Amino acid sequence: MGVKIQISGLTGKMDSYIEAVLQAGGEPAAAYSPPPDPDCAALLLCGGGDLDPRLFGQENRGSHPPDPVQDEAELALVRYYLQAGKPVLGVCRGMQVINVALGGTLIQNLPPGTREKHIGQGGKDQIHPISLAPEGFLGKLYGTSLTVNSWHHQAVDRLGEGLRPSAWAPEGFVEALEHQSRPVYGVQFHPERMKGPEAGPGHLIFTVWMNRIRRSSE
């Protein structure tokens, strides 16, 4: 099988991420709040609940109750993989974890009118367009715009050290980010389940990411 990818997420809710890694040719090692695995070539952080706002210096302003075990473990994972110079991909919550690990902050609750456009209803994701920076990793795959899926009420606010935005929602908040000098990427949407005619193909993100990991591991 392919290179080993560490996956951190909620127990019972990582199947679509595991499948995405398998389809891209990777060997998933998935667990809830695992310690860093030095045998893994890269880290994938899944979607999930809200981070404790105290971790980015704020009182609770609409965040859901945190999971301190997951928060601590995933922040440690990001810092370990950054120090090791290994690739990291964060999805939804995972992107927010990357931002907070690097000193950034979050919008704890998108304002009414915006929030409803990004939270799924009836078990289905919201579908909406985003704008892409042509020079960013998504822009090189999809061009200057992309239709994506959403299920979130929070968003990145102040960017963490070394990060730059590479996609934006129609309302202006960041939908994707990347590190300026390290192989670290985050998306606010869910490429692991971005399929069909309504949303653009998400598998390309995992395929290209895995190809980069293979090259860096050779």
DSSP string, 156-188: E-SPPTTEEEEEE-TTS-EEEEEESSSSEEEES
Q: What is the pLDDT of residues 97-107, one digit of tens each?
A: 999 999 999 99
Structure confidence at residue 216 as a pLDDT band (50, 70, 90): confident
Are β-strands 145-150 and 126-132 bridged in parallel, bridged antiparallel, or unpaired?
antiparallel
- Decide: 91 and 43 in contact? Cβ < 8 Å: no
Over 70: is that where the pLDDT of 75 sits? Answer: yes
Q: What is the predicted pLDDT for the residue at 106?
A: 98
Contact 165, 198 (CB under 8 A): no
State yes or no: pLDDT of 90 exceeds 70.
yes
| Cα-based distances in Å from 100 to 51, 105, 163 | 9, 6, 11
Share of the chain above pLDDT 70, in %: 99
Name the residues annotated as catalytic. 92, 190, 192
Q: Tell me the pLDDT band of 1, cut-offs 50, 70 and 90.
A: low
Q: How far is Cα 21 from Cα 3, in angstroms, rounded to an integer?
A: 10
Q: Which stretches of 47-122 are DSSP H helices?
A: 68-84, 93-101
**Is the pLDDT assigned to residue 87 strictly greater than 60?**
yes
